[in-house]
Structure 1
Amino acid sequence: MNRTTQSLIAVVVALGAVTGFAAFSGPDGTADDGTRTAARQPVERTSLLCPVPSASDLAETSYTAFTPKSSGAGSKGTAELLPVSRALTDAAKQEDKKNAKPFLTQKAPGTPVGGEKSGAEAPALIGTATGPFAPGWSVQQTTTYAAGSGRGVQGTHCTAPDTDFWFPGASTDKERSDYIHLTNPDDSAAVVDVELFGPNGEVTSPVGDSIQVQPHSSVPVLLSTLADKAYTNLTMHVVVRSGRVAAAVQSSDEKLGGDWLPAAADPAGSLVLPGIPKDATSVRLVAYAPGSDDADVKIQLVSATGTITPAGHETLHVKSGMTAAADLGDVTKGEAGSLLLTPTEKAVPVVAALRVTRGKGAKQETAFIPATSPVGTRATVADNRAKGSTLSLVAPGKSAKVKVTASAGTEGGSPATKTYTVKGGTTLDIKDPPVPSGLKGAYALTVEQVSGGEVYGSRMLELPEDGIPMFTVQTLPDDRGSVAVPEAERDLAVLQK
């Protein structure tokens, strides 16, 4: 044995002693062949970022934070939202972060906490939850103002940082002002590329390349500055070259109000867009095929009584690398429903979102419903009021049973729970979901899958004012409050193989 081989073995043995080479094992402690299901454990840390809510001096923004109770989540931890530093040097930002006073601090899992900000100076927020506060931590930001471009209700989930986002439904139309908000929670700068795709392919602009987002800061970018002309329907792709950011689009229309456009679910051959209001006066579908193949998708409306194909909109052809749109009109015909997109033949991944309009004439308001992932084990929407919340649940395949829990209120009240059955191939529109007894303040709704097939969901919050049907819609994807953790044990025998 030569000296090099001896050195190599010594290094491997040292690494084994430090890391403890792991071998998967089953519940009985025997070696696993890799086919067993790993145990799921609550996450220990969650990060969420809330974008700057508004540039209007008339804006009133409310925040609601909530963590459902989770078994095995530990007993010590914190959950707080801190304001993002503005117009400071890097050194000053670090000092500002160190001395910053939390805007919101949650006191106990199972009880929501709320706060408010007024005017245009409300900052972006960076949130961190640890220990028992981390699994399923949800923060909702809801802004209202009755005048100006984008007037209405603009609501959004505060989102986790990531490196890749799709936004079908963006626009640079002359009456639209769409901003992409990029927020960096980390100690190093992030570098971001913003790509736009219209009906004829990519909208080239060097302005969208290598956008710098400094540590602990938020950058809004007006989409019209990235395009060579006005486009009614666009798909935006946000790619993070280094670091990570949270991304959300704020869309304001001079006549039709506005809302936040969240990132859509990852590209897939079949998509579900849940919770089109029954009184929707206009519904526009925007889709994009990011791969090398064209996509042909079948359009179906999943209503309360079954699944139908809208007359005149049976399919949508989406060319590769190009954005396609279909104006579905008042597709719901007075009955709430969800949109189901499936391949006509070959499954080609697409991304999609809906722009939904309610009201008529000068009293119209809009919201967005992106394609979303299933409710899964559990999903939560944090900001609900005594009146105005509508929960939509759709089971595109098999029937399912779900449990819906209303938390205590931010200022008082006792939780309430109700179980619902969603028949396969239908949308269940729950106009009056559970409300805490003795409710004071806002509360959270948590949806848990009990049995059956996959369920998708959304929540519409209505806050009408002066005859305008002001509203916002948030989807209900799985909260990812737990992760698969395989059992492992030290096994130095692998060094002898």
Structure 2
Amino acid sequence: MKRTTLSLFAGTAALAAVTGFATLTTPAASGADTAATAARLPVERSSLLCPSPSISDLAETSYTSYTPVTDGTAGSGTATLASATTETDDATTGKKDAKKGSKPVVTPKAPGTPAVGDASGADTPALVGTADGKFAPGWTVQETTEIAAGDGRGLQGVACTAPDTEFWFPGASTSADRTDYVHLTNPDDSAAVVDIDLYGKDGTVKSAVGEGITVPGHSSEPILLSTLTDEKQTDLTVHVTVRSGRVGAAVQDVDDNLGGDWLQAAADPAGSLVMPGIPKDATSVRLVAFTNGDADADLKVRLASASGAITPAGHETLHVKAGMTTAVDLGDVTRGEAGSLLLTPTGQSAPVVAALRVTRGKGDQKETAFIPATAEVGARATAADNSSKGSTLSLTAPDAAARVRVTASAGSGGGTAVSKTYSVRAGTTQDVAPPVPSGLKGTYALTVETVSGGKVYAARTLAATEGGVPGFTIQTLPDDRGTVAVPEADEDLSVLQK
């Protein structure tokens, strides 16, 4: 068989591996070369990685798994979330050996209903999750940790992420009052080799130990940023690239005075960026940006508030030098109105990554969270682990008016799903108390779908006050990529004659 025929079959097999469905069809007419419109089919397998939640003995962590109901999925499937390794005593040496497999922390029973699990203390491991069949499309897992006191006290949350080969984290730090870790989790059998590059206010931060970091198979490595460099930098951009294999990555900020939270990877470098969901009672907002291009970036800064897009006084534009991290304090930019920050080029576009560090509270009762620039909601996005109180949904339509449908799932312990449709005016942010399932017991998930109009960006805030400290965490809601485009493949027998 000739290579051209093998390529045709290999391409079809690759599509089948992703979607579970691909066919070869006979052309409608000889010589026809017009490709049919690609069909969108549900993905048949998903992977998620959750970092080790905390180094505090006081940490109380909950995990919430949820898959929205998706048309066209198979009738069967499974989803599990478990430690990548378990430790057992070696009978010969008495040492601890890491062995694959452990009891699942969460095992969902059906799409449309959340499943929950929990863990306590500082020894909770990173988790690896896989879902297939009807559980795969749009599968999401939320990791939420409450820490009553000490460094990092407050509420920390992270949406468990899919393994990948590149991540950007603007907003990290090696300052004296912060302890930032990059958590790298490898879900595969073979080791992954990772490079971590740091960029500060003057450009590349020299590091002799940030290259060629080995992450063994089925393991997780928390890398303390201050061990990669002696420089104390208030604002850093962290770039994680994988030479071989794949990992999940997230940055954990533990602050001596301001609590802490997870910084999730920002959206890929782009000319225009959206950071949705700044709480209305934010007392301080710090913008951190970086351009990886060869040219400087000049950006227009706007706040999409409930009443429309406004330009923050004194911060009309932002100049980002090529290869350098730029940070600016926007202060009380929301002035009592929830909003979303919009960055757009003033002239020629340059690729930029950015994130916000948001502070709530005053005096010694402050807490922080991060909002990375994010992709749009697209067809559908989901945030798990919501309760009847303490959840806020932020919807932003930066360019054109849009309508979105928000569905509150059944509760993890009971309740009936409900939906509500919202209209978002162009250039505004709408902060809403999301719908709550009737007869709710336990926690529930929120699924946001774009119904019509322009692009919509969204974020969900969880809030819980402990000892007077306004603990909170914010997760953005990018498209869940629950479906994939599968082009129709035509059989071309002429390749057998070449």
TM-score, scaled to structure 1: 0.93
Does the CA contact (< 8 Å) of 1:376 and 1:454 recur in 2? yes
Counterpart residue number, 1:477: 478
Deviation at 1:82, TM superposition (A): 1.2
Matched, 1:96 2:87: no
Q: Work out which of the residue numbers 127, 142, 145 in structure 1 matches 2:144.
A: 142
Number of matched pairs:
485
2:135 corresponds to which residue?
A: 133
For each residue in 1:378-411, what CA deviation from the matched residue of structure 2 results, as whole angstroms up to 9, or x when unmatched?
0000110110000000000110010000001111
- Pairwise CA distance, 1:71: 0.7
Contact conserved, 1:172 with 1:231, CA < 8 A, in 2? yes
- Is the 8 Å Cα contact of residues 269 and 351 (structure 2) preserved in structure 1? yes
Q: What's the CA shift for 1:368? A: 0.1
Superposition map of 1:292-331 within 5 A: 292-331=294-333
Question: 2: CA distance between counterparts of 1:26 and 1:220?
Answer: 49
The equivalent of 2:171 in structure 1 is 169
Distance 1:149 1:435 in 2: 33
CA contact (8 A) 1:20 1:489 kept: no
CA distance in 2: counterparts of 1:470 and 1:21, whole angstroms: 49
Q: Secondary structure at the match of 1:191?
A: strand
Match of 1:262 in 2: 264
CA distance in 2, matches of 1:174, 1:263: 23
- CA shift, 1:364, in A, is 0.2
Alpha-carbon separation, structure 2, partners of 1:17 and 1:313: 54
Alpha-carbon spacing, 1:17–1:201, altered in 2? closer, same or farther (3 Å):
closer
CA distance in 2, matches of 1:179, 1:21: 41
Give the conservation status (yes or no) of the 8 Å contact 2:83–2:125. Answer: yes
Deviation at 1:19, TM superposition (A): 5.5
Q: What aligned pairs does 1:404-419 form with structure 2 within 5 A after superposition? A: 404-419=406-421
Asked if 1:350 is matched to 2:352, the reply is yes
Please state if 1:433 is matched with 2:434. Answer: yes
Structure 1 counterpart SS, 2:466: coil
Name the aligned partner's letter for residue 486 of structure 1. P
Instruction: Give identity over the alignment, percent.
Output: 65
Deviation string, structure 1 residues 152-206 (Cα, Å, up to 9, x no partner): 0000000000000000000001000000000000010000000000000000111
Is the 2:384–2:446 Cα contact (8 Å) retained in structure 1? yes
Instruction: Give me the whole-angstrom Cα distance separating, in 2, the residues matched to 1:295 and 1:289.
Output: 7
Which residue of structure 2 lines up, in the alignment, with residue 468 of structure 1? Answer: 469
Closer/same/farther in 2, CA of residues 448 and 27 from structure 1, 3 Å limit: farther
Q: 1:393 to 1:89 in 2, by over 3 A?
A: farther
| Counterpart contact for 1:408–1:443, Cα < 8 Å | yes
1:449 Cα deviation (Å)?
Answer: 0.7
In structure 2, C-alpha distance between the alignment counterparts of 1:68 and 1:93, rounded to whole Å: 39
Aligned residues of 1:93 and 1:216 also touching (Cα < 8 A):
no
Q: Distance in 2 between matches of 1:320 and 1:13?
A: 44
Q: Please state how far the C-alpha of 1:122 moved relative to its aligned partner.
A: 1.1
Relative to 1, partners in 2 of residues 1:439 and 1:294: Cα closer, same or farther, differing over 3 Å? same
Q: Is 1:233–2:235 an aligned residue pair? A: yes
Distance 1:44 1:18 in 2: 20
CA contact (8 A) 1:20 1:491 kept: no
Determine whether 1:64 maps to 2:64.
Answer: yes
Q: Note if contact 1:86-1:217 (Cα within 8 Å) is conserved in structure 2.
A: no
Letter in 2 for 1:382: A
Aligned pair in 2 of structure 1 residues 453, 175: CA closer, same or farther (>3 Å)?
same
Is the 1:203–1:228 Cα contact (8 Å) retained in structure 2?
Answer: no
Question: Is contact 1:21-1:491 (8 Å) kept?
Answer: no
Aligned-partner Cα distance in 2 for 1:343–1:485:
34
Q: Distance in 2 between matches of 1:383 and 1:322?
A: 37
Tell me, in whole angstroms, the C-alpha distance in 2 between the residues paired with 1:192 and 1:447. Answer: 34
Decide whether aligned partners of structure 1 residues 346 and 316 sit closer, same or farther in structure 2, where only a CA change above 3 A counts: same
User: Which residue type is aligned with residue 49 of structure 1?
Assistant: L
Q: Secondary structure at the match of 1:224?
A: helix
Q: Give the SS at the match of 1:433.
A: coil
Distance 1:207 1:406, change over 3 A: same
**Per-residue deviation, 1:12:** 4.6
Corresponding residue number in structure 2 for 1:442: 443
Q: Do 1:21 and 1:492's aligned partners in 2 also have CA atoms closer than 8 Å? A: no
* Matches of 1:374 and 1:149, distance apart in 2: 34
Letter in 1 for 2:429: T
Where does the alignment leave 5 or more consecutive residues of structure 2 unmatched?
14-21
Displacement of 1:229: 1.5
Give the C-alpha shift of residue 476 in structure 1.
0.3
CA distance in 1, matches of 2:422, 2:276: 17
Gaps of 5+ in 1: 1-9
Whether the 8 Å CA contact 1:20–1:492 is kept in 2: the answer is: no
Q: Give the letter aligned to residue 356 of structure 1.
A: V
Q: Does 1:52 align with 2:55?
A: no
Per-residue CA deviations over 1:213-234 (Å, capped at 9, x if unaligned) read: 0000000000011122210000
Partners of 2:284 and 2:389 in 1: how far apart?
Answer: 24
Does the Cα contact within 8 Å between 1:21 and 1:489 map onto a contact in 2? no
Partner of 1:382: 384
Change (3 A) 1:19 1:269: closer
State the TM-score, normalized to the length of structure 2.
0.93
CA drift at 1:491: 1.9
Question: Post-superposition shift, 1:48?
Answer: 0.1
